[in-house]
């Protein structure tokens, strides 16, 4: 990064500590959630309880008796042999004069046979069920991996994941109750503290050397786009030590030996290890996700260093990328100062369905003093491929619940949600200073999360909705259908939308939801939007408070019972509304939606050419105002209405219209009435 740090080693050569088959890179991270990360790591990698630490008082009484630390670590450091089989490759020969005059001038291709290659290195067993940490360059490109323990037992190794950017890899051998090394805190290491390097230099098994910590957070400046934070030690390490253990006087693993600085290729005084502060985070990711993601860049304004998970959930990766992109855009350059921007994270999976991501943004001066820190917390639902919002966690008249917990105002769309085993936390402000925690068991009737491990009344057999992809640049119209669901026509209307890769919004009556719950479930699973049209189509302005509440409540309950979700939109019958009605909607977290164009399709339900009239009215209303972003009203309980819908969709599709839900229309186009 900074030129002043890039030239620390002067003319010394950087040598890989194994006779492996590939190159390596390294990476530096600033840790902000060390405690959480270590807990997660220890939970993930169960260590052998029989391992005993050496006496701690030896650290303060040098010279140190390191025999116990050596004894503990020797059994957990393994010898790794990586074999790369012979392969046939096609190579392009340099052109000769014959090629220039009689062929195409590019030279000829020929087949060459590469020789098999064998590399040797070390590894560290970190869990008793056979997970081993090593360097990526030890096993990169290997077709076969053999692991030999200190007691001469040999096992076939399987690669779980690799991260070239940190030069770390996770290998698995099959078995149980393997010896392990306790994982220590590299951040607690002090310069001058005694350490052991344990590994297999020059293919000599079970070799221990001793030295002190010479420096910390050392940057070598030799890896492209890498941020480096090596532990520097004068414990003798050589080729073959790669992937081996750097151990403190207590017998704890504090680093993974990686490179040495030497003008000759052999030990010349200094070696370098990757600290466990980096290793624990990376290795935990490799076990859970198989990979990690780094981003390193320098521009005219900042040094940028981002470290974030690359998960199997592609949409979550996109969300995280958008999050840090927004952060980068928000930061302004200071005059005559080039600050460093860091992103660090912690990631934890809950009940195999929810991924909790905590993002920590830091702004640091060139003199490495922190000037600003920002934190973001969110939870991703792997079932729906979306971030959880407050309305995804609670249902019913949850505003009353929040009020009892001291929350008078809330954002139902907020994604500042952290799901845990027994409860979830809602952060009520953007700075995450204020929060409330809601226990599942105590609030079962309000909990909307559908998981067999979470107390809730939500049905568990509901599939994730098949949402459409919306092009914000194209014209769109939201066609809404009132008074259903109908036993046959609702299905037909859905088919019509899906024929053109569209979706509709169905403003359904609660009493009909109770009659046809399977249709309600189908509407949801197929990606259409379910909205409330009250329970039995009453004129709400004429009801007393109790009856008004029942019209809303019973509809929400009917929908939740059928598909595990509730409407967030409501259309009052006849468009009848007043302040009392609006207040009742708000208490349930409902947004009122009216219309731009009413086709009055019910008038033509028994007219011979009624379908054509409805078709014409739909097209007319879709093109009203600006010709884009309109909400059109029809019903899915009349044959002519659905037939007219089918014809209108065909024509509008040819004119470049997308058929979207009301929520998508408001998201991408906005609406004067709902801003």
The residues assigned a catalytic role are 137, 167, 242
Q: Are 247 and 273 in contact (CB under 8 A)?
A: no
Identify which of 268, 241, 238 has the alpha carbon closest to the alpha carbon of residue 256: 241
238-255 in b/e form (b: 16+ CB < 10 A) is bbbbbbbbbbbbbbbbbb
Q: How far apart are CA 27 and CA 24, in angstroms?
A: 10
Q: How far apart are CA 515 and CA 537, in angstroms?
A: 15
Give residue 375's Cα distance to chain centre. Answer: 16
Pairing of strands 339-350, 354-364: antiparallel
SS (H, E, C) 535-587: CCCCCHHHCCHHHHHHHHHHHHHHHHHHHCCCCCEECCHHHCCCHHHHHHHHH
The phi-psi region of residue 48 (left if phi > 0; otherwise alpha if psi is between -120 and 50; otherwise beta) is beta
Identify which of 307, 226, 200 has the alpha carbon closest to the alpha carbon of residue 24: 226
Identify which of 186, 170, 146, 293 has the alpha carbon closest to the alpha carbon of residue 243: 170
Identify which of 370, 338, 371 has the alpha carbon closest to the alpha carbon of residue 4: 338
Identify which of 331, 28, 75, 348 has the alpha carbon closest to the alpha carbon of residue 186: 28
Pairing of strands 658-659, 417-419: unpaired
The three-state secondary structure class of 71 is helix
Q: How far apart are CA 450 and CA 458, in angstroms?
A: 5
* CB-based contacts of 150, cutoff 8 Å, min separation 6: 74, 75, 77, 78, 179, 205, 206
* Residue 615, phi then psi, degrees to nearest 5: -55, -50
* Residue 348, phi then psi, degrees to nearest 5: -145, 135
Q: How far apart are CA 231 and CA 117, in angstroms?
A: 30
Identify which of 29, 35, 309, 17 has the alpha carbon closest to the alpha carbon of residue 161: 309
Q: How far apart are CA 548 and CA 554, in angstroms?
A: 10
Pairing of strands 253-262, 13-16: antiparallel
Q: Are 20 and 139 in contact (CB under 8 A)?
A: yes
């Amino acid at each position: 990064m900074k030129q002043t740090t890039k030239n620390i080693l002067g003319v010394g050569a950087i040598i890989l500590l194994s006779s492996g088959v590939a190159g390596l890179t390294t990476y530096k991270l600033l840790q902000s959630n060390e405690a959480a990360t270590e807990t997660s790591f220890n939970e993930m990698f169960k260590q052998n309880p029989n391992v005993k630490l050496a006496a701690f008082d030896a650290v303060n009484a040098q010279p140190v008796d390191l025999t116990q630390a050596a004894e503990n670590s020797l059994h957990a450091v393994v010898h790794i042999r990586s074999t790369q089989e012979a392969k046939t490759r096609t190579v392009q020969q340099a052109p000769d004069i014959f090629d220039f005059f009689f062929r195409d001038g590019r030279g000829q291709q020929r087949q060459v046979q590469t020789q098999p290659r064998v590399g040797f290195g070390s590894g560290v067993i970190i869990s008793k069920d056979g997970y081993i940490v090593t360097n990526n360059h030890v096993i990169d490109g290997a077709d076969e991996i053999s692991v030999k323990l200190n007691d001469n037992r040999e096992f076939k190794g399987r690669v779980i994941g690799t991260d070239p950017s940190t030069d770390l890899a996770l290998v698995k051998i099959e078995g149980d109750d393997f010896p392990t090394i306790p994982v220590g805190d590299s951040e607690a290491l002090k310069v001058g503290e005694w350490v052991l390097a344990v590994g297999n230099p020059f293919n000599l098994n079970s070799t221990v050397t001793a030295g002190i910590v010479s420096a910390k957070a050392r940057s070598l400046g030799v890896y492209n786009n890498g941020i480096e934070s090596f532990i520097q030690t004068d414990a003798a390490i050589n080729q073959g030590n790669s992937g081996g253990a750097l151990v403190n006087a207590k017998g704890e693993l504090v680093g993974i030996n990686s490179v040495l600085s030497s003008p000759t290729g052999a030990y010349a005084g200094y070696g370098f290890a990757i600290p466990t502060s980096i290793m624990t985070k990376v290795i935990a990711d490799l076990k859970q996700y198989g990979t990690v993601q780094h981003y390193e860049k320098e521009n005219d304004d900042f040094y940028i260093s981002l470290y974030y998970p690359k998960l199997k959930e592609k949409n979550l990766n996109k969300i995280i990328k958008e999050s840090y992109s927004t952060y980068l855009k928000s930061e302004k350059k200071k005059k005559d100062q080039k600050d460093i921007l860091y992103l660090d994270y912690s990631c934890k999976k809950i009940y195999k369905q929810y991924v909790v991501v905590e993002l920590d943004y830091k702004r640091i001066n060139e003199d490495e003093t922190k000037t600003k820190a920002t934190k973001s917390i969110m939870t991703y639902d792997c079932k729906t491929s979306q971030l959880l919002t407050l309305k995804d966690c609670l249902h019913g008249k949850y505003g009353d619940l929040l009020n009892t917990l001291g929350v008078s105002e809330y954002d139902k769309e907020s994604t500042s949600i952290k799901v845990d085993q027994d409860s979830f936390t809602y952060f009520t402000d953007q700075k995450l200073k204020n929060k409330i925690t809601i226990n599942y068991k105590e609030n079962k009737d309000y909990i909307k999360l559908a998981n067999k491990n979470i107390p809730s009344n939500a049905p568990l057999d509901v599939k994730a909705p098949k949402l459409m992809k919306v092009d914000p640049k194209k014209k769109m119209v939201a066609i809404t259908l009132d008074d259903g669901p109908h036993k046959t026509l609702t299905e037909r209307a859905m088919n019509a939308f899906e024929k053109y890769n569209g979706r509709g919004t169905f403003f359904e009556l609660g009493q009909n939801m109770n009659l046809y719950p399977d249709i309600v479930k189908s509407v949801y699973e197929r990606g259409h939007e379910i909205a409330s049209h009250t329970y039995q189509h009453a004129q709400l302005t004429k009801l007393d408070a109790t009856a008004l509440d029942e019209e809303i409540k019973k509809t929400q309950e009917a929908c939740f019972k059928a598909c595990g979700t509730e409407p967030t939109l409501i259309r009052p019958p006849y468009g009848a509304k007043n302040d009392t009605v609006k207040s009742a909607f708000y208490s349930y977290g409902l947004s009122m939606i009216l219309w731009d164009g009413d086709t009055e399709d019910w008038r033509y339900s028994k007219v011979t050419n009624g379908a054509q009239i409805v078709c014409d009215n739909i097209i007319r209303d879709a093109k009203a105002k600006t010709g884009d972003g309109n909400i059109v009203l029809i019903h899915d309980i009349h044959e002519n209405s659905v037939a007219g819908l089918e014809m209108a969709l065909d024509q509008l599709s040819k004119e470049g219209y997308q058929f979207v839900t009301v929520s998508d229309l408001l998201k991408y186009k906005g609406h004067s009435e709902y801003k």
